[in-house]
Structures are given as structure tokens and as C-alpha cells.
Amino acid sequence: MASQDWLDKDFYTILGVPEDASDADIKKAYRKLARKWHPDQNPGDDAAERKFKDIGEANAVLSDPEQRQQYDSVRQMTRGGARFTAGGPGGAAGGAGFEDLFGSMFGGGGQGSRFSTGGQGGAQGINLEDILGSFGGAGSPFDQGYSGYGSTRGPRRGADVEARTSLTFRQAADGETVSLQMGDGRTVKTRIPAGVKDGQTIRVRGKGQPGPAGAGDLMLHITVLPHPVFGRDGNNLTIDLPVTFAEAALGATVAVPTLDGSTVKVKVKSGTPSGRVLRVKGRGIKAKSGAGDLLAKVQVVVPQRLTKEAKAAVEALAEQENGLDPREELYTKAAK
């Protein structure tokens, strides 16, 4: 941050605290504003990013007793409409130059002192950049600890990293411990919770890049491979259940496979059509939010070959249904 910009900023106003605010009040205000304006809470918002950086800079100054005292001293001297010029005594009427301000601060004798902007400065020369560096230049306390979005001074966590893994349908439903080979050669073991979904991203705390203030997080992207029999609808398991024409017409009790390898009995009522869903409570995916259900969708199987006796029976049924058109309602609706 340029020296003149630093002098122009009111860190108390930025944090919304009075000039006599206690250290606790400054810390409380900073934390509240940092949460509100953090870039993670305002993705893509450049104004919020700048606001967050200003908040970090203000906190870095006001939370350090020595830097706060220096800052207050400069503010006290610049009150009353003082202006600064780049060189020469006076400038505009009533305007004080950098020489006048810093000459009084560092005992240079006011306008009798001269300031240079580089080099050694000679016997009376004072390097202006050295002076301002003590407040906010490169290498100063204010310049320490800033990176990214202007975080406050001190050690920072390591970077977050991303990884991908594939699970079978059953592993995703039951949960699984996986070993991941990281780009830096580390092997990371982590437990995938039961009920994870395809496309879900899991944050694994402390498994990212190491850093002075601890490791970052691992963002693990999950791919769930399809199952040949079961599907998923939320935490419900779905399955197509084949039944014979006789079972659907006359009714029956049939066995339905479950994900754990066992079977459960369900009742097919007489006259059950294809497409009807039979629900088995609590036999779906078990997740933290609770277990889902098993949804069995009836599929009536039409026989591909008929014996003479079966064919005769079907023909007899057709005679009984003579004059019955199951598509009559369909035609009526289609004509509207």
C-alpha cells in the first residue's frame, strides 16, 4: 500500500469502532466484519474482496499497540485540513509539505530540513521512503502477513487440495475407508460416510497441504458406479420387480432382494398392473438423516412361449373379455 494511501485511510471507520476502542472491541469488530465480507461468502464480488482487504489492514494496525500509537500520532498531526505536497515548502496556501510534517516528527527543524526520495540523503538528507517504510512500506510491520485476500499477520494454514475417488454402489451406501495418493507423495486415508451420493464433494479437514498454522483441507469429489439391479432416489433404493401374469392377475407374495444380500417378502395384490410401486419401509439407504425405503416397481412379464394348455387358457380368457377395450378411455382423452 502506498504511503499516501495509508495516511488517507481511517482504520477506525473501516472497523466501525471509536478511537478509544479497547483491544477486545477491535477484535470483536474485526471478526464480525471478516465473516461478513470474506470472499468465500461473496464469490466473484470484487468490492467485497477489497472491503475484506481493508478490514484486514485496519485490524493489523489497530491490534498492534505500537503501530496503533504511531498511526494515532500521524492522524493527530494531519487533522485540521492539513495537506501534503510532493516537494518544496508550503505549496498551496495553508498546505504543509512532507518535509514540514516529518521534520517536526523526527527533529529535522521544520523547513530547514530537506528530504530525499532515495539514496543516502547526505548530512541533512533523510530518506523519505525509509521513514514511511516504518509505517507501511515493504518490509514494515504492516507489510507482514498479507497474502491472498489480505489476511492478518501471522502464520497461515496450508492450501486446500482436490482429489477424486470412485466407489461401488454398495461402498457408497455402506461407507468405506479409502487410501488416496496425493501429488506430493503423501498417502492419505479417510473414511467416506455411509450414504454418500454420486457427484458429492466431501471436505476432509486437515488433509490438505501442510502449513505453519496447520494443514489445509482435502476436497474429495465422489463418483459412484452404477449397480446392475438397484437405483437410487434420494435415500430410497429402487428396483424393477418382475412378476408373472398370473401373479399380477390373481395376487401373490413374492421375494424382493435387498442391498445387504437378503430378501424381503412383499404382497402383490390381485389385479396389480405394471408400473405400480410397492414400498418396503426402512430398507433403503441408511444415512445420518435416517433410512430410506425400498421401492419395488412391478413389471408384468409376458410369456414368450405358451404350451397348448396355456394358449387355450389365454384364448378362453380373451373370450371372457370380448367387447372390453382397455384403450377406450385413452381414445377419449386423445380427442380432447
**pLDDT at position 267:** 96
Would you say residue 278 has pLDDT above 80? yes
- Tens digit of each residue's pLDDT (9 = 90 or more) over 211-268: 888 889 999 999 999 999 999 999 999 999 999 999 999 999 999 999 998 999 999 9
DSSP 188-213: EEEEEPTT--TT-EEEETT-S---TT
Q: Which residue has the cell 507501511?
A: 136
The answer to whether the 161-224 and 231-310 domains have the same CATH topology is: yes
Would you say residue 112 has pLDDT above 60? no
Quote the cell numbers at residue 93. Answer: 496556501
- Tens digit of each residue's pLDDT (9 = 90 or more) over 55-93: 888 888 888 888 888 888 777 766 544 444 444 444 444
Q: Average pLDDT for residues 123-144, to the nearest whole number?
A: 43
Q: Taking the domain 3-143, which CATH number applies?
A: 1.10.287.110
DSSP 252-316: EEEEEE-TTS-EEEEEE-TTPPTTPEEEETT-S-EETTEE--EEEEEEEEPPS---HHHHHHHHH
Quote the cell numbers at residue 320. Answer: 371372457
Domain 231-310 fold is: HSP40/DNAj peptide-binding domain (2.60.260)
Query: Which of 65-79, 102-116, 188-202 is least confident?
Result: 102-116
Close Cβ partners of 213 (under 8 Å, ≥ 6 residues apart): 154, 155, 156, 157
- Tens digit of each residue's pLDDT (9 = 90 or more) over 7-48: 678 888 999 999 899 999 998 998 889 888 887 788 888 888
- Domain ranges, ordered by start, for the chain: 3-143, 161-224, 231-310
Q: How far apart are CA 169 and CA 196, in angstroms?
A: 10
Sign of the CA dihedral running 124, 128, 129, 131: positive
Q: Which CATH architecture has domain 161-224?
A: Sandwich (2.60)
**pLDDT at position 84:** 43
pTM (2 d.p.):
0.51
Q: Which residue has the cell 380427442?
A: 335
Quote the cell numbers at residue 284. Answer: 433403503
**pLDDT at position 46:** 83
- Tens digit of each residue's pLDDT (9 = 90 or more) over 145-194: 444 444 455 688 888 999 999 999 999 999 999 999 887 788 889 999 99
